[in-house]
Structure 1
Amino acid sequence: MLETERLLLRRPDAGDIDSIMAVAGDREVARRLARVPHPYGEKDAHFFLDTVVPNEWVWAITWRASGELVGMVGLTPEAGQDAAELGYYVDRRHWGIGIATEAAKSVLDYGIHALGLRRLTSGYFLDNPSSGRVLSKLGFVAVGRSERSCLATGSTAPSIEMRLDASPAKSAGRAHAG
């Protein structure tokens, strides 16, 4: 479990199925993500919990005050023990108030200090510049462009690839593990 000023990041579980389906099932959320299909149903949520969560570092983003699930953030291991890809999504009702940045800072700090990650990657579709701003705030730099598949649209779209070369001395933020 990770904590920030406003958020509690915890492992998602079966009690989150309805919330996961509501947030990931929003077409406006799904079309901004590479690996989330649309429509997104109960079978997809179970696959996520049973297959993705055990094999990646994934946290449910919840409000500390209410416990309401407002998104997901995670690190997908990449080739080599010291590399991972950062991914996140936030409920559209909570866009624009810094949730993705706050949650990702905490996860990056954990990845760098607890997991020993040294190279982090991420990317965003060209039509989602808000995600690019989040990644820039976190210290990521653009390293190229590519065509990335989007399960929700069933097509490929232009994507900006980003990278963060990290060291323990260059922490993305301070997380409190609990």
Structure 2
Amino acid sequence: MTPGPAPVIGTARLSLRPHRLSDADAMAETLSDFAVTRMLSRVPAPYHRQDALDWLVPVTSGALPGWNLAITNGDDAHIGMVSVELRHGRWHLGYWLNRYYWRRGYMSEAVEAVLERFSRRMPDMPVHSGVFADNPASLRLQEKLGFRMTGCSEIYSFARNTMVAHVETVLQPGALQVARAA
């Protein structure tokens, strides 16, 4: 069972949409920043436009199960990504944001919106994720949304070129904590 095609999701400040090949330059700019890639396991450093295109071609053709949504601001500028991908038979959440947009609540807004939509389409599916142990901000984001720690491991970081301590998390069905308007 899959959640269907990737939707377009609007929030108060953002639009999340399927990726386009034209996102390659913005992705390369963000992911060439080691402050961003050091917190991602599967992204190499240095990161080039061709790396973005190599990822975008199968994503934009619909060849991969799940959602890979571009986070865009009011002028449709690509500033990050939220994904819910099927890996090894389990749904996995991943995300990153251009560092010039950090500490504004954008990632919380984007991840919450994607998980809320995903949970409506796939109400009985847990969503797995995790963070590197030296990324407490990301762990706080996940805990705020209802994720719970399930263990620790070490995984390989391509950007760091080494094994890194990793905190495993899961969001059980029905556990999403959605911010309520006052």
TM-score by length of 1: 0.89
CA contact (8 A) 1:126 1:158 kept: yes
Unpaired segments ≥5 residues, structure 2: 1-7
CA–CA distance in structure 2, aligned partners of residues 78 and 28 of structure 1? 25
Which of 7, 10, 13 in structure 2 is aligned with 1:3? 10
2:111 corresponds in structure 1 to 104
CA–CA distance in structure 2, aligned partners of residues 45 and 116 of structure 1? 32
Unpaired segments ≥5 residues, structure 1: none
Which of 56, 60, 64 in structure 1 is aligned with 2:70? 60
CA contact (8 A) 1:148 1:157 kept: yes
1:72 corresponds in structure 2 to 81
Which of 51, 60, 82 in structure 2 is aligned with 1:44? 51
CA–CA distance in structure 2, aligned partners of residues 30 and 156 of structure 1? 14
CA contact (8 A) 1:106 1:172 kept: no
Q: Deviations over 1:76-108 (max 9, x none)?
A: 11444xx41100000001111111111111111
Matched residue pairs, number? 169
CA contact (8 A) 2:19 2:69 kept: yes
Counterpart of 2:144 in structure 1: which amino acid? K
Going from structure 1 to structure 2, the CA distance change for 1:52 and 1:151 (only over 3 Å counts) comes to: farther
Q: Which runs of 4+ in 1 moved over 6 A?
A: none
Which of 17, 20, 27 in structure 1 is aligned with 2:24? 17
Which of 133, 138, 144 in structure 1 is aligned with 2:140? 133
CA contact (8 A) 2:21 2:57 kept: no
Which of 127, 133, 141 in structure 2 is aligned with 1:120? 127
Tell me by how many angstroms 1:142 deviates.
0.7
Tell me by how many angstroms 1:173 deviates.
3.8
Q: Deviations over 1:45-64 (max 9, x none)?
A: 0111013453131000011x
SS at 1:38 equivalent? coil
CA–CA distance in structure 2, aligned partners of residues 130 and 7 of structure 1? 20
SS at 2:35 equivalent? helix
CA–CA distance in structure 2, aligned partners of residues 103 and 84 of structure 1? 17
Tell me by how many angstroms 1:123 deviates.
0.5
Counterpart of 1:30 in structure 2: which amino acid? T
CA contact (8 A) 2:155 2:163 kept: yes
Which of 75, 89, 107 in structure 1 is aligned with 2:96? 89
Going from structure 1 to structure 2, the CA distance change for 1:99 and 1:172 (only over 3 Å counts) comes to: same
